[in-house]
Amino acid sequence: MSPCPHIPIPAPQLLPKHCAANISRARVKKTPKQPPRKGTGDRDKPGTESQRRDRTLTTTMDKLQLTLAELSLSLNHVPNFTVFGHTVTPAEYLSSHLETRLTRAIVAMAGYNKATQEVARPSEVLAGLVAHMGLVQRLGQLVTLDTGRLLRTVMLQQSQPRDASGQPTLTAIYTDWYLEALLRQASTGAVLLSPALQAFVTVPREEQPPFSAAEFSDVSEMRALAELIGPYGMRFLSENLMWHVGSQVTELK
């Protein structure tokens, strides 16, 4: 299982926020070349891991893919075996561990820090989730796994406030963030609703919030959030938001 965490790494490089460096280089392409600053090197573009000068050349990603395929195919040789009177099924053992690791990876992609109110945008988490789902589906082609059931179980847990092990899920994380960060800033007037943009926007002030409200409340981000936490999660989020808004309106009365 050690090669698995390295495979989805190239996926986040395709996010729009990483194209700023390429746009900046294109704008200054015709200007005289300046000596590069110390510590600033060119970043590898997405897809460079697939470029080959020779067919015999193997990269680290190739070796990881080969190791993963060999480990997965080896599980098909023995359907089950007995250890101390207990029957062990390798495919079922792998499926249970994949479910646990995928759940942890999804929550880790959010990168939520309650102290600083930092969290990843739903679209970024969705891009990483799609990469991890592709990895699980690839494993399903090598090992006899019910990948559909595995992914449905994991995503259904993310639509609830707590997963099977009692840990917070994406529903709990984003509900807490929208209540503690976005709603609190809206209560103080630092964030306003823009009907033209169909999103909340941050009001320019001396003390700016640590986030841009439009980056978390526009239509594309709401769609990504709905895909992540599902209808049950969106209902949980909306009920908590409405309860807090109703409480604040009652206080004003």
Q: Is residue 237 part of a domain?
A: yes
Q: Does the predicted TM-score (pTM) go above 0.95? A: no
Token pair belonging to 167:
């840990």
pLDDT confidence bin for 172, thresholds 50/70/90: very high
Cβ atoms of 245 and 172 closer than 8 Å: no
Q: Where is average pLDDT lowest: 30-34, 179-183, 233-237?
A: 30-34
DSSP characters for 26-53?
Answer: HHTTTSPP-PPPTT--PPPPTTGGG--S
pLDDT confidence bin for 25, thresholds 50/70/90: confident
For residue 77, what are the CA distances in angstroms to 64, 65, 70, 155?
21, 19, 11, 30
Q: Is residue 73 part of a domain?
A: yes
Q: Please write the tens of the pLDDT for every residue from 93-137.
A: 888 888 998 999 999 999 898 888 889 999 989 988 988 888 888
Tally of domains within the chain: 1
Q: Is residue 210 part of a domain?
A: yes
Mean pLDDT score of the chain: 81
Residue 208 has pLDDT above 70, yes or no: no
Q: Which residues contact 236 (CB under 8 A, 6 or more apart)?
A: 159, 160, 161, 171, 175, 229
Q: Please write the tens of the pLDDT for every residue from 59-103.
A: 777 787 788 888 888 887 877 878 888 888 888 888 888 899 899
Q: Is residue 152 part of a domain?
A: yes
Cβ atoms of 94 and 88 closer than 8 Å: no
Terminal alpha carbon distance of the chain: 58
Residue 25 backbone class (left: φ over 0; alpha: ψ -120 to 50; beta: rest): alpha
Q: Is residue 52 part of a domain?
A: no
Q: Is residue 56 part of a domain?
A: no
Q: Is residue 173 part of a domain?
A: yes
Q: Which sign, positive or negative, has the C-alpha torsion 11, 14, 15, 20?
A: positive
Q: Which sign, positive or negative, has the C-alpha torsion 88, 91, 94, 100?
A: negative
Token pair belonging to 217:
């409340």
Q: Is residue 137 part of a domain?
A: yes
Domain that holds residue 127: 4-19+62-252
